[in-house]
Amino acid sequence: MRENKEKDQQGGNICAVCGGKKVIAGTCTCDHEWRGNQGDDAWEDCKCTPDVPCPECGGTGVLGG
């Protein structure tokens, strides 16, 4: 895996896992066959995972520094 050598303004290496965004974005997967949750008169066809702080940089966006 190539290490990202870019530097942020404080001099730390930008995290290669989150790209300096501090979080790993959640994802949603939709399938009409999953219908089973009904909220507000509409069936929910999607299952989503939440955004989580990056485990590599601890949610700072940079490594070291």
Cα–Cα dist 23/10, whole Å: 19
The pLDDT score that the predictor gives to residue 3 is: 45
DSSP string for 26-64: P-EEE-GGG--EEETTEEE-EEEPPPEE-TTTTTSSEE-
Name the pTM for this structure.
0.57
For residue 51, CA distances in Å to 15, 58, 60 come to: 17, 13, 14
Cα 18 to its chain centre, rounded Å, is: 7
With beta carbons less than 8 A apart as the criterion, state whether 64 and 12 touch.
yes
- Residues 19-65: pLDDT tens digits? 999 999 999 988 877 666 665 666 677 888 999 999 999 999 999 75
